[in-house]
Structure 1
Amino acid sequence: MANHQSSIKRIRQTDKKRLHNRYYAKTARNAVKALRNTLDKAEAQALFPRVCSMLDKLAKKNVIHKNKAGNLKSKLSKHVNKLAIA
C-alpha cells in the first residue's frame, strides 16, 4: 500500500480513469461488432458515421491509438462498401 498522500490520490485517479476508459472502449468495440454483423447496406451506412465518431473520440483521448482507429475505420468502410444493396 502506498504511504504518501499524493500516491494514494494518484491510485484513486488511475482507477477512476481506467474504469472510464474501459467503459467507452467496450462500447466502441460492441458498436464495431454490430456494424460488422450488419448485412443491410442502408443500415450499415447509417451506423458507420456514428462508429467512426466513437473511434475518433477514443483516439483523441488516447484510449486507443490513432493508427488503430484509422485501421478500424478503413476496414469498416471496406465492409460497408462491399455490402450488396438489399
Structure 2
Amino acid sequence: MANHLSAKKRIRQNKVRRLHNRYYARTTRNAVRQLEATTDKSKAQEMLPKVVAMVDKLARKNQIHKNKAANLKSKITRHVNALS
C-alpha cells in the first residue's frame, strides 16, 4: 500500500482515468461493430465520420496504436464503400 499522500492521490486519479478510458474505448468498439453490421448505405455514410472521429480520438490519446486506428478506419471505409 502507498505511504505517501501523493502516491495515494495518484492511485485515486488512475482509478478515475481508467474508468473514463474504458468507457470511451468500449463506446468506440460498439460504434465500429454497429457500423460493420449496417447494411443501409445512407445510414452507414452518416455514421462513418462519427466513428472515424472516435477512433482518431483513441489513437490521439494513445489508447490504441495509430496503425490500429488506421487499419480500423480503412476496414470500415471499405465496408461502407462496398454497400450498394
TM-score, L = length of structure 1: 0.93
Q: RMSD over aligned Cα, in angstroms? A: 0.8
Q: Structure 2: how far apart are the matches of 1:23 and 1:30?
A: 11
What pairs with 1:10-49 in structure 2 (closer than 5 Å)? Answer: 10-49=10-49
> Which residue is equivalent to 2:58?
58
Q: Structure 1: how far apart are the matches of 2:2 and 2:53?
A: 39
Q: What displacement does 1:15 show?
A: 0.7
The total of aligned residue pairs comes to 84
Structure 2's unaligned 5+ residue stretches are none
Q: Structure 2: how far apart are the matches of 1:9 and 1:62?
A: 23
> Which residue is equivalent to 1:7?
7
Runs of 4+ aligned structure 1 residues displaced above 4 Å come to none
More deviation in 22-31 or 54-63?
54-63
> Which residue is equivalent to 1:73?
73
Q: What displacement does 1:71 show?
A: 0.7
Structure 1's unaligned 5+ residue stretches are none
| 1:23-60 alpha-carbon deviations (Å, 9 max, x no partner) | 00011011001000000111111100100011111111
